[in-house]
Structure 1
Amino acid sequence: MSGTLSTLGVSSLTNVLSGAAGGNLVTGELSRLLGTAALGGVTFDIIDSREAAGRRVARFLFPGRPVEDQKFQDFGTIDQPIRITGYLAGDDYVLRADRMRKVLLKAGRQTLVHPWWGRLKVRVLEPGEIQFSATRIRIAQFQVTLVRDPEPSATGGLLEGITDTLTNLLEQADAIVDDVTLTVQAVLAPLTIPLALSGVVGSLLSQASGFWDSLTESAPQPLQSGMTNARAVLAAGVSAPASNDDTNYADAVTAALAAVPAAAVTSITDPSDKVVAPAQQVTGDAAQTVDAGTVSTILLSAAVQLGAAADTLSNTSTVPAEILTLGVSARALIVSQLLAAWGSLSFVSGADAMVARDQFIAAIDALLSDLENAISAGCSVSLSGLWTSIQSARLALLADCSSQVGRLPRVVAMPLMATVSGWTLAYAVAGDDVTQVQDVFDDLIGRNGIGHPALVGPGSIQVLEQST
């Protein structure tokens, strides 16, 4: 299970509806009604929100007495339920709907980020309803009834109730995208964007475009083709509006930064799939494929370079905290897509999985270090939500890797006292299962870097432990 995560934030719903209606909803009247909300860490687009509030008053009327003699007893204030209709839009709308379903099933208080009321602590009062429709592709609609609840309550552990480690990892990675969307919107919230802020945004986008071009220069042709449009959007940049009275500018910046890594993950191909490739993608008799390892290497390098670029810009900028926060957001988007690529990686042994895991964990830890630097620089927006989602993704990655390691063969060291043929060693390791000889031989040669298959040893040779 793998795939790119949603990268459009608020603009996702407007883009989908615009295409379905045949009009430009972004510039229409309805676009002004759209707002970003989040429940339990899952962002969604909201159009309708209703709530009643008042006092608990008991009215007493007495028989045979005029109405003027009525009495009232005031029991204090009362908050009535908040009824919300929301939309989950994007390529990952099914995954996002599944996350929302888990939010609706969760007991206890949850955080509601409301576009008008702000951040509230709420409880799900009535069962929510999620709707899919064949006439609305890439959109899921839901209704939920909530009630305000400011009282504290206990929560379970981060890994409580996890049954599918890979799905949980993808959900946590998707939560990073949601929190990045909210973070960028908070940073780019001023009604009039200062020149210094718009300047560093342009510089960050420009530098990001440059190192993506460099990283993909020698990439496989299908990967370059799949990233062409996204790279063009990033290279074009985003112009700051004269009046910043909505989140369109912030969402455009988020989408530009997220589009390239998302396109890279989308370009991953399954070598077992038999497809007819375009002529320019064919080398000799074999069509080029894009493996998850290649994409992961590019994303890991991109995350490092983008973090360094944001740090350099902050040293010369008059708004260092803002550029560091935007750099953290951009790097987090790359890490989220990196985690999405994890599901497409295949490992021969548990040791191989742990090597890849350590590389991914290092990228997450570097991201957390950048986040701490942004806070130390005086970041004016809350990064607690983003910090929590990154930490949760880190734990989810460790959990999924542990489950894979338990199913993969171990790498063991075999001492050789003399030089032997690689084929002889492969037959000895494979034992009675001769169908595994070729795989054992290929792994033996590649893992130990053997130059001549007929001359293996003497010394310690690493081989895969066979199950039989």
Structure 2
Amino acid sequence: MRIDSLDALPGLVPGLYRGLTLHFLDTSSEHGRRVLEYLFPGVDAAAYDDFGVLPSVITVDALVIGDDYKAQVKALQRAFETPGPGQLMHPWLGPMSVILEEPASIAFSARELRVARINVRLKRVQSGGGLAQILSGLGAGVTGLIAAAQGLINLVGSRVISTARGAAVRRTVRIVNEAASAVTPPSEGARLLPEIRALLSASSPQTPATFGPWIGKAVAVLSAVSEQPAVAPAIETAAPATALAKIAVATGIASRLMAAIPTAPSDVDAALLSAVAAQFLAAAARQADYADFASRREATAYRTTVTTALAELADRAEVLGSETYQASTSELIRAARRVSSAVVVEINEVVGRLPDVLVFSADREHDAWQVAQHIAGDTPGQIEAVYLDIVSRNRPRHPAFMEGSTIEALEIR
């Protein structure tokens, strides 16, 4: 279940209804209380009875896009006709249980090929809403994913014979160290990767009981929040790693671990690799609240990277052949999907507050300073900042002679 098959058209935001993808154009919700008004003859003041919270009504205008749009529409039609509550993955409000308030509308147009328009009004079912609200939080989702990964490691320790699990732990330790060595060091955290590598090479666990704390030390470094002091220190020290640097390292290691799962020599190795990858992805998701994204492009790129990696983790966990791991991998898959949903909700909230990246077509060489004046000419105080952004974003050989077919610059707000 991928909820970030985004950008089929620019400006659309992905969501799900009963597991089926909808590309949201607009959405609104109605909230209030059920109040009954009494009017009496000869009495100016009315009387009111409060009958509790009014169930929220969610209105969704969305698109179905693709070469198989007719098949998608038929699947949605069956979903709309299915009795009982269904789950809506709202891109801003998170997961919720809903029922149809009125029949859904599906529209086709000769002016819009490979596209169908969906309009539906859904009433939120209040029962279970508290649990859904808890599970939609990013912090709770990350905690659940780490717990599910640790549960999978504990299962290996209790259900696998000592010879097999010891060999699998040693092989996994070697793969983790190789993955950490292969990641490119981020520019914003020069000391981050050496610290991770030092922690991983400091000891070599032999059993699942020591394997969990061993990997937990590295994950804790990537999950930690870097606090910026209000006053600069008297002695200049190396800047702490930024949240973006920690995200890059965590996703880089996790992707290499997941690439090793299909060729793992046994299900024990695959289970351990899945658990370690899940913990690194949990660390990357935790940093979403603290990452300083420069533009919408960076935020949506992070969202796509993390949600795609979590979907891949779920796919890898689903193919573990042994029934021994079925319950634990199912919990890991559910936890990964909850985190993926929470990341989408979190980043969709952030994207609306960020500037976009402007792209200019260049048929000839341009001077970066002239481009900056073109963008920020009405606000002279920002010209220098725009100029520096153009140089750092495009990396020309010389700022006065910018080559290439396009020039990128951050939008001014």
The TM-score bracket by the shorter chain reads 0.5 to 0.7
Task: Find the aligned partners of 1:358 and 1:297 in 2 and give their Cα distance.
Answer: 13
Match in the other structure for 1:24:
none
1:34-433 counterparts in 2 under 5 A?
155-156=128-129, 160=133, 168-190=137-159, 193-215=161-183, 222-223=191-192, 226-227=195-196, 230-232=199-201, 235-239=203-207, 250=209, 252-266=210-224, 268=226, 270=228, 274-275=232-233, 287-314=238-265, 320-374=266-320, 376-382=321-327, 383-415=329-361, 419-433=365-379
Tell me, yes or no, if structure 1 residue 448 matches structure 2 residue 384.
Answer: no
Look up the SS of the partner of 2:191 in the other structure: helix
The answer to whether the 8 A contact 1:270-1:291 is kept is: no
Task: Find the aligned partners of 1:309 and 1:341 in 2 and give their Cα distance.
Answer: 25
Task: Find the aligned partners of 2:165 and 2:405 in 1 and give their Cα distance.
Answer: 60
- The one-letter code of the counterpart of 1:238 is Q
Change (3 A) 1:449 1:227: closer
Task: Find the aligned partners of 1:218 and 1:466 in 2 and give their Cα distance.
Answer: 27
Query: Any gaps of 5 or more consecutive residues in structure 2?
Result: 1-125
Measure how far apart 1:422 and its partner are.
1.8
The answer to whether the 8 A contact 2:261-2:316 is kept is: no
Look up the SS of the partner of 1:413 in the other structure: strand
- The one-letter code of the counterpart of 1:291 is T
Tell me, yes or no, if structure 1 residue 439 matches structure 2 residue 385.
Answer: yes
Match in the other structure for 2:27:
none
Measure how far apart 1:360 and its partner are.
1.7
The answer to whether the 8 A contact 1:230-1:263 is kept is: no
Task: Find the aligned partners of 2:366 and 2:256 in 1 and give their Cα distance.
Answer: 45
The answer to whether the 8 A contact 2:288-2:346 is kept is: no
The answer to whether the 8 A contact 1:173-1:336 is kept is: yes
The answer to whether the 8 A contact 2:142-2:286 is kept is: yes
Task: Find the aligned partners of 1:229 and 1:457 in 2 and give their Cα distance.
Answer: 42
Root-mean-square deviation (CA, aligned residues, Å) is 3.4
Measure how far apart 1:237 and its partner are.
1.0
Alignment length (residue pairs)? 286
Could you report, residue by residue, the CA deviation over 1:248-291 in whole angstroms, capped at 9, with x for unpaired residues?
x54x322212221322443857498734678xxx6xxxx35423
Look up the SS of the partner of 2:176 in the other structure: helix
- Identity, % of aligned pairs? 19
Measure how far apart 1:228 and its partner are.
6.5
Change (3 A) 1:232 1:423: same
Measure how far apart 1:350 and its partner are.
0.7
The answer to whether the 8 A contact 2:180-2:196 is kept is: no
The answer to whether the 8 A contact 1:258-1:330 is kept is: no
- The one-letter code of the counterpart of 1:303 is A
Query: Any gaps of 5 or more consecutive residues in structure 1?
Result: 1-152, 240-248, 315-319
Measure how far apart 1:424 and its partner are.
2.5
The answer to whether the 8 A contact 1:412-1:462 is kept is: yes
- The one-letter code of the counterpart of 1:380 is Y
Task: Find the aligned partners of 2:201 and 2:158 in 1 and give their Cα distance.
Answer: 26
Change (3 A) 1:453 1:213: closer
Look up the SS of the partner of 1:380 in the other structure: helix
TM-score (norm 2): 0.60
Look up the SS of the partner of 2:281 in the other structure: helix
Could you report, residue by residue, the CA deviation over 1:207-251 in whole angstroms, capped at 9, with x for unpaired residues?
323433454889855325644663245x32134xxxxxxxxx54x
The answer to whether the 8 A contact 2:145-2:278 is kept is: yes
Q: Which has the larger radius of gyration?
A: 1
Task: Find the aligned partners of 2:220 and 2:227 in 1 and give their Cα distance.
Answer: 14
Task: Find the aligned partners of 2:163 and 2:339 in 1 and give their Cα distance.
Answer: 35
The answer to whether the 8 A contact 1:328-1:371 is kept is: yes
- The one-letter code of the counterpart of 1:328 is S
Change (3 A) 1:273 1:389: farther
